[in-house]
Amino acid sequence: MRSAVRKVGKHFPTAIISGRSRDKVFQFVRLNNIYYAGSHGMDISTPSVSFYYGNYKHQTRTIDEKIKVMLQEITRGIKGAMVEDNKFCLSVHFRCVNEDNVVVLKEKVESAMKSYKDFRISEGKEVMEIRPNINWDKGLALQYLVDTLGFENSTEMIKNIGRGFPIVVSSTPKETEALYSLRDPIEVMSFLISIAKWKKDCGYKKTSLFGMFRRLIR
């Protein structure tokens, strides 16, 4: 997979946007020719520079430590629960928590966080995310990166079938705003290799990007 992402990054401006800390994502990927946006887009790096969204670095580090310790304490008695420090955000994972205890865990976290008005809770796949209560998320990080890279507004780009191609990765059918789907990481890797090869061999001369997408994904 790393080789596939490297090839795509060579031919297209490429970014990975994650809820995990940027440092963790970089350790997973270890490529220097792409953009990284960690902590739901609050911690961004380009191939040449790193920066933060707004002036939150000092503020959130101080508060995060207090919240982190508190969450570790209240989840300690729930088997399988894990608190992950993602620099500007905290994640409470319950993938390994017994189903009967998930509701108890959520209630404890929600009750404890009521005292921290500067933070909000969102829920992902078997995880609760605690992050600063600011108008910033992965979508806005995407828009910022696309605008910074000189493309059109990312919202329009993604919605416009001629310019953007939202893809969901799922082995089973699901409700989604994405227009296309890939089944699993193997299909993702094959797709990335294919678009890199298309760009290298054909560019925009022999076939359109839209036509290439229609052939590669369903």
- The percent of residues above 70 in pLDDT, for the chain, comes to 78
pLDDT at 40: 87
Domain finish residue from 104, 132, 160: 132
**Do 153 and 120 have their domain in common?**
no
**Do 146 and 80 have their domain in common?**
no
Residue among 68, 30, 20, 39 at smallest CA distance from 141:
39
User: Could you list the residue range(s) of the whole structural domain that residue 47 is in?
Assistant: 2-53+137-216
Burial class (CB in 10 A: 0-12, 13-18, 19+), 9: buried
The pLDDT of residue 84 is above 50: yes
pLDDT at 173: 83
Average pLDDT over residues 165-187: 86
**Do 170 and 74 have their domain in common?**
no
- What's the token pair of residue 96? 């390994």
Tell me: the pLDDT tens digits for 43-62? 888 887 666 555 455 555 55
Does the predicted TM-score (pTM) go above 0.85?
no
**Do 86 and 192 have their domain in common?**
no
**Do 62 and 42 have their domain in common?**
no
pLDDT at 212: 62
CATH of the domain at 165: 3.40.50.1000
pLDDT at 151: 47
Specify the higher pLDDT residue, 25 or 42. Answer: 25
CA 112 to chain centroid: 26
**Do 44 and 143 have their domain in common?**
yes
Q: Sorting pLDDT into bands at 50, 70 and 90, what band is 214?
A: low
Domain finish residue from 81, 101, 132: 132
**Do 75 and 39 have their domain in common?**
no
pLDDT at 203: 56
CATH of the domain at 78: 3.30.70.1020
Domain finish residue from 79, 112, 132: 132
User: What is the domain count for the chain?
Assistant: 2
Rounded alpha-carbon distances, angstroms, from residue 91 to 41, 126, 136, 169: 15, 10, 17, 22
